[in-house]
Amino acid sequence: MKLSIRPNLTSSRSATGAFSSSSSQPSTGKRLRRPTAKVSLSSSSRRHLLKPWTSSSSSSSSSNIHTARRRFSICAAYNNNDNNKKKSSDFSNYGEEDDDFDEPVPGPGGRIESDAIQRNVRDSVINAIDQSQNRRVTAGDVASSSGIQLFDATQALTALAADTNASLEVTNDGDLVYAFPSGYKQLLQAKSFKLKTEPTVDKVKEFLSYLVRVSFGTTLVASVVIVYTTIFALLSSQRDDRNDRRSSRGGGMMFFGPRFYPGDIFWYLDPYYYRRPYRLRAKDEMNFFEAVFSFVFGDGDPNNDFERERWALIGQTIAKNEGVVTGEQLAPFLDREGSAELSDESFVLPVLTRFEGSPEMDDSGNIFYRFPAAQVTALEKKQQNRLKRDSASSTNGLAKEERWSFSLADPSQKFMSAALGVANFVGVIWLSSLMTDPQVLYRNAELVQSVGGFLPALQVYAALFFAIPFFRNFRIGMKNKQIDRRNTLRLQSLLRLERPDEKLRRKLMEAKSKAGRKFVSEKDSIFSSSGKGQKDGSTFELEDFDRRLNNEKK
């Protein structure tokens, strides 16, 4: 790529070289400055820089190394100066002093690139890197393993490579391989304050969530205590002075209801607190306060990670079939309408968008879907087979949604929560009626005034305690019907795939014949940012000659 800059000349180049320049000789007495080009690359230009290149003769083979270095340097400069990618590349200010020309390009280390990546994407990429034995991966390996978008995988790999001093390897076909050092996670945590504090923030969030769940159950117990204590006080005031004194000496609360002691709170936390004070509680077992929250609000979406797991299964299926699949092979993982017969394959479009695939059609009218990024891998054959076995054992080839449950609390805990809620509801109604009695208002003006301030809050709490579970139970029933319908369609698609007819069998065989995966080893790289394994011109020419000779013999 050459740039020709001449005064008083306007030239235009194509988008691949993509520079238009115009200049005029300044008439001022200022000292002329040497023109400086600020280059911004569009997405098409970057693809041009990374497109596969081949040498036409052995004499030109050594220039490929120089071309690879130049392309790699331009791509690295683009990644380091991503914020300036929209700046103009014209030379209209030729000869004039402009401070923008003197702005240095920010180098690596100026900021932590990984902090700008979403946490779920970053964690998925790190897990995919850890699964590789030698920590050499391609963007297709990461996308296929984790199910994240191919664009997000490339962006996250580039950011992690910049922050961990990883090396980028370029092959003769233009494939990029990211090679990470052994302690890359320690390097990343040492640089990023965000990564250091994430575990602490997670623990704080978990503790606050626990406090919210426990506080709701504590409010129920406090409401029952306040309501019935106030009722007993109001009823006691209606007796004569002698009965009132006898009631205070004899403990009238004993007659009307249960007594509450401060130590009883541990009984609600654990029904067997007094019997087995040293009993260890299972991790998935709820205490009473958590069970109250679960009874009212439930336990969250059981399919919270379903989308992530589904896309991971789809990516692993594409990789297992070496980059070429059919709609029937993707149907057990996707949502669609209709029967098991696939008359409309528009449900595959999200997969094509996410993994940058394209449809193909053979002479028989069968449609196949090719994913080029999944056909290039840096994982060795043994590791590929191990990942296939792991993916096969972790799933039965079906993306299945879990049904919603009303509450994960034990039946005894749900019964106790409902019983205490009923007692609170009845007590609030009883107290509200007593507060409207003129005699009660006259005899206990101070008590009525103090309790009446938060009585509306007690009424709202008692009403919502049963209103929320009622509507939630109705909504859960509707959701479970939709989940059952989607699971049934996916199961039908899986059964059809496991027992294919003759037409589908031929289609699957044709897709298998079109598939293929290329393994990229360290020997295939012609350039590495680390400088290791880099080939000089003579070595590359000899290997290129041998490769051409072998191809001619074949």
Asked if residue 450 has pLDDT above 60, the reply is yes
Give yes or no for residue 353 having a pLDDT over 60. Answer: yes
Secondary structure of 218-253 in HEC code, one letter for each residue: HHHHHHHHHHHHHHHHHHHCCCCHHHHHHHHHHCCH
| Distance (Å, whole) CA 410 – CA 451 | 35
The pLDDT value recorded for residue 142 is 94
**Residue boundaries of the structural domains of the chain:** 11-102
Locate 42 and state its tokens: 């569009």
- For the stretch 508-530, pLDDT in tens is 999 999 999 888 888 887 877 76
- For 91, phi then psi, to 5°, come to -115, 35
User: Nearest to residue 458, comparing CAs of 418, 430, 419, 499?
Assistant: 430
Contact status, residue 416 vs residue 221, Cβ threshold 8 Å? no
Residue 364: its pLDDT value, please? 86
What are phi and psi for residue 5, nearest 5 degrees? -120, 115
DSSP 155-197: HHHHHHHHHHT-EEEEETT--EEEE--TTHHHHHHHH-HHHHH
**CB contact at 8 A, 101 and 31:** no
At 282, list the tokens.
């299972």
* Whole-number pLDDT of residue 448: 81
Categorize the per-residue pLDDT at 534 as very low, low, confident or very high, splitting at 50, 70 and 90: low
pLDDT score, position 513 = 92
Other C-beta atoms closer than 10 Å to the C-beta of 36 total 12
- Residues in Cβ contact with 193 at an 8 Å cutoff, skipping those fewer than 6 apart: none
Strands (E), 193-344: 324-325
Amino acid residing at 293: F
Most confident of 13-22, 101-110, 424-433: 424-433
Query: How confident is the model over 459-503, as pLDDT tens digits?
Result: 999 999 999 999 999 999 999 999 999 999 999 999 999 999 999
Q: pLDDT class for 445, splitting at 50, 70, 90?
A: confident
Pick from 290, 310, 308, 309: which is nearest to 300 by CA? 290
**φ, ψ at 213 (rounded to 5°):** -65, -45
Q: Tens of pLDDT along 427-442?
A: 999 999 888 878 777 7
Give the tens place of pLDDT for each residue, 404-426: 999 999 999 999 999 999 999 99
Please report which residue ranges of 321-454 form alpha helices under DSSP H: 327-330, 349-355, 381-394, 411-434, 438-443, 445-452
Confidence of residue 58 (pLDDT cuts 50, 70, 90): very low
Percent of the chain with pLDDT over 90: 43
43: left (phi over 0), alpha (psi -120 to 50) or beta: alpha
Sign of CA pseudo-dihedral 94, 96, 100, 106: positive
**Cβ–Cβ < 8 Å for 315, 143:** yes
Query: How many whole angstroms separate alpha carbon 84 and alpha carbon 39?
Result: 9
Which amino acid, residue 256?
F
CB atoms within 10 A of CB 335: 14
pLDDT at 274: 36
* Residue 310 pLDDT exceeds 90: yes
CB 376 within 8 A of CB 140: yes
pLDDT of residue 171: 87
What percent of the chain clears pLDDT 70, i.e. is strictly above it?
64
Q: Is the pLDDT of residue 259 over 60?
A: no
Distance, in Å, from the CA atom of 41 to the CA atom of 33, rounded to the nearest integer, reads 25
